[in-house]
Amino acid sequence: MNVPSVKQKKKDIIKVENKFLEKKETDKLALIAPNAPINIIKDYKLTEKRRIQLPDKIIGFFKCPNLRCITNTEEGLSSKIEIIDKKNILLKCQYCARSITTNELIK
Ligand SMILES: [Zn+2]
């Protein structure tokens, strides 16, 4: 996407060096900075501009903040976190239905 960034006064940059970003990791980034573009730089050249997209669900990557949640008590059960509102980033655990804030996920 070629969106000019002139309008934005402050540009947030997330720098991830020498790393291949897996889908799960970009999902995590999307939660921290939903509007940040990802610039893929290879051999000092910008090769790709990517915008992170929030998935509908994040499975087994984060822990549910509710300690009594079945995903925390039952071994081998992956968490399922639903993104109910992508614009305002509203999250919910699919098991215990607890609302989760991004701060709780990223510690
Ligand atoms: Zn839960």
pLDDT given for residue 49 in this prediction: 76
- In this prediction the pTM is 0.61
**Residue 53: DSSP 8-state:** -
Residue 95 CA to ligand 1 center (angstroms) comes to 5
**Domain spans of the chain, in order of start:** 23-105
What's at 47, amino acid-wise? T
Among 13, 82, 87, smallest CA distance to 53 is for 87
Q: How confident is the model at residue 105 (pLDDT cuts 50, 70, 90)?
A: confident
Residue 64 CA to ligand 1 center (angstroms) comes to 5
Q: How confident is the model at residue 1 (pLDDT cuts 50, 70, 90)?
A: very low
The protein residues having their C-beta less than 5 angstroms from ligand 1 (an ion) are 64, 66, 69, 93, 95-96
Residue 73 CA to ligand 1 center (angstroms) comes to 10
Paired sense of beta strands 80-85 and 90-93, if any: antiparallel
Query: What is the CATH T-level fold of the domain 23-105, as seen in this structure?
Result: SH3 type barrels. (2.30.30)
- As a 3-state breakdown, the chain gives helix, strand, coil percent values, each rounded to 5, of 15, 25, 55
Q: State whether residue 26 is helix, strand or coil.
A: helix
pLDDT given for residue 2 in this prediction: 47
Residue 61 CA to ligand 1 center (angstroms) comes to 13
Whether the CB-CB separation of 70 and 64 falls below 8 Å is answered with no
Q: What is the mean pLDDT of residues 75-86?
A: 90
Helices marked H in 1-107: 23-32, 70-73, 102-105
CA gap 28, 15 in Å, rounded: 14
pLDDT given for residue 15 in this prediction: 61
pLDDT given for residue 65 in this prediction: 93
